Amino acid sequence: MKLQIDKQTILLVGGVLALLIVSSVVGWMLSRRRGSPSFEATIANLNARTRAWWFMVAIFMLALATGGIGSVVLFGLSSFLALREFITLTPTRPGDHRTLFWLFFVITPLHYWLVATNWYGLWSIFIPVYAFLFIPVRSVLAGDCERFLERTAKIQWALMICVYCVSYAPALLSLEIPGYARQNGKLLFFFILVVQMSDVLQYVWGKTLGRHKIAPLVSPNKTWEGFLGGVLTATLIGAGLWWATPFTPLQAAGMSLAITLMGFAGGLVMSAIKRDRGVKDYGHMIEGHGGVMDRIDSICFAAPVFFHLTRYFFTP
Amino acid sequence: MTAALVAGLLKLLCGAQARWLGTAPSAEVRIYFANHTSNLDAVVLWATLPPDLRPKTRPVAAKDYWTKGRVRPFLAQKVFHALLIERHKVTVRENPLEGMLAALDAGFSLILFPEGGRFPGLEPRPFKSGLFHLAKQRPNVGLVPVYLENLNRLLPKGEVLPVPLLGSVTIGEPIRLGPAETKVDFLERARLAVWNLHLS
């Protein structure tokens, strides 16, 4: 997983930093304006989000600069924290305790180790096959049958979403694309940029133009205007970044569309779970955003699809 | 140094931060009383207090549990300064109240679990009378209700290895014994003060 830092990487980094500076300045100017309490609350939240973005971008760039292993560690930690938020919200019983211990301290680190060592044949089936079968076996040994299938299914689902799906993002670094050797850092950068820009732009379009609710029972803040505006603009941004990827402009647009649609689907599904559990956010770790899970819900759904599309069409 | 490290680790493990709802952290002598579901309860509550209050706050804990092995006595004596009490053979000579009153008089706050044992479940069981006697004999000490959530999932009864789930520590408004309040009324009011924090 050796990565090189080239001119295009520097351009990407510079672009993101410029965007953050512009957002901070605009947010600062908006915060000086007086308005209704709800307006001021929205602006305060916006600025908290921007501050958190500076932090997240710094961590992400630091991870990429280490040449691969840092990215695996970063996404591994994100998985760990997301899993912890997810299991906290999901009722388990004392009979699941030992299973959960395996989940946090054996299965998750082992899976990321397999990703780090680039052992595709094993990491791609380790959780769907081995961990999937191990979890009910470990739980059944505890001898508690109450709601057994429900508890087991929830633990398996948590592992698939928080660990397996998220790990597809750093796994992008291991794809061997002809003519793109040692440049995969830009592919991961492209993916994260498109998926997160889509989230941000859906928020911006929704806040400014949003009228028609798209899923009022699941996520009252999501609107058709936000969805269409966010998906279209994020797809255009993705297409405009084709020079940093192994794709043509049209291919980059298609990939970006797939990423943004899957990201939207992920946000919606993870919202339904929050709503069912009666909470607004998965946690409080990231100021303005909620928990780690609230920030990576779109990555969970977009990363596996983007990985496999790229692997199928662009690797021999 | 060790104390800061242990407190940091504990907070990392359960991601818990104290939510001070009815009162602010204060250096005055207090009794924190909470629901009890896990062996982690006392130490997590202790760890989420501000660093300057920790050395002045002693968890009241079971002697039989905290004197076993090598790690537990070290933690209890050197880190948490636990006030270890005899649970099973309460005699006139070993009346746990004496130790608690002495600690309060020496300027220490206490962390107390008035249910008298660990019980799974959200709602606290009826309280034992120790809290009432303390309130009666030291009427100036504020009694601070605390609700601990999810810690029994981190470390259920009978388990040794904890799982890193998110717990929460909610701290409410201090109560005091009313002038004409009976023991039963007071203990129930104290229990509800803890339970109501769960709902807030």
Q: Which residues of B touch A85 (CB under 8 A)?
A: 166
Task: Identify the residue with better confidence: B31 or A32.
Answer: B31
Band (B90; pLDDT cuts 50, 70, 90): low
pLDDT tens digits, one per residue of A135-192: 999 999 999 899 999 999 999 999 999 999 999 999 999 999 999 988 999 999 999 9
Interfacial residues of A (vs B; Cβ cutoff 8 Å): 80, 84-85, 87-88, 92, 94, 97-98, 100-101, 104, 283, 285
pLDDT given for residue B200 in this prediction: 67
Q: What is the mean pLDDT of residues B141-166?
A: 89
Residue of A nearest to B158 (CA): A94
pLDDT given for residue A91 in this prediction: 82
Residue A69 identity = I
Determine whether the interchain pair A84/B166 forms a contact, defined as Cβ–Cβ distance below 8 Å.
Answer: yes
pLDDT given for residue B87 in this prediction: 72
pLDDT tens digits, one per residue of A198-217: 999 999 999 899 899 999 99
Q: Which residues of B touch A87 (CB under 8 A)?
A: 163, 165
pLDDT given for residue A223 in this prediction: 94
pLDDT given for residue A98 in this prediction: 94
Band (A268; pLDDT cuts 50, 70, 90): very high
Determine whether the interchain pair A97/B156 forms a contact, defined as Cβ–Cβ distance below 8 Å.
Answer: yes
Whether the predicted pLDDT of A238 surpasses 70: yes
Q: Which of A19-28, A146-155, B30-39, B71-80 has the lowest mean pLDDT?
A: B71-80
CB pairs under 8 A between A and B: 32
Between CA B173 and CA A23 the distance in angstroms is: 41
Task: Establish if B50 touches chain A: CB-CB under 8 angstroms.
Answer: no
pLDDT given for residue B92 in this prediction: 59
Closest CA to B34 of B155, B145, B200: B145
In order of B35, B126, B127, B129, B190, the CA distances from B185 in angstroms are: 18, 11, 11, 11, 9
Residue of B nearest to A83 (CA): B165
Q: Which residues contact A281 (CB under 8 A, 6 or more apart)?
A: A274, A289, A290, A291, A294
Domain boundaries, chain B: 2-199
- Annotate B15-74 with DSSP letters as a single string: ---EEESS----SS-EEEEE---STTHHHHHHHHS-TTTGGGEEEEEEHHHHTSSSHHHH
Task: Establish if B21 touches chain A: CB-CB under 8 angstroms.
Answer: no
pLDDT given for residue A298 in this prediction: 95
Q: Is B101 exposed, middle or buried (0-12, 13-18, 19+ CB in 10 A)?
A: middle
Residue of A nearest to B12 (CA): A81
Q: Which residues of B touch A98 (CB under 8 A)?
A: 159
> Any idea which architecture B2-199 has in CATH?
3-Layer(aba) Sandwich (3.40)
Question: Which residues, numbered 161 to 200 in chain B, qualify as contacts with chain A under a Cβ-Cβ cut-off of 8 Å?
Answer: 161, 163-166
Whether the predicted pLDDT of A289 surpasses 80: no
Q: Which residues of B touch A94 (CB under 8 A)?
A: 120, 152, 156-157, 159
pLDDT given for residue A38 in this prediction: 83
pLDDT given for residue B89 in this prediction: 65
| Phi, psi values for residue B26, rounded to 5° | -145, 145
User: What residues form DSSP beta bridges with B170?
Assistant: B19, B147
| Phi, psi values for residue B58, rounded to 5° | -115, 120
Q: Which residues of A touch B16 (CB under 8 A)?
A: none
Q: Which residues of A touch B161 (CB under 8 A)?
A: 101
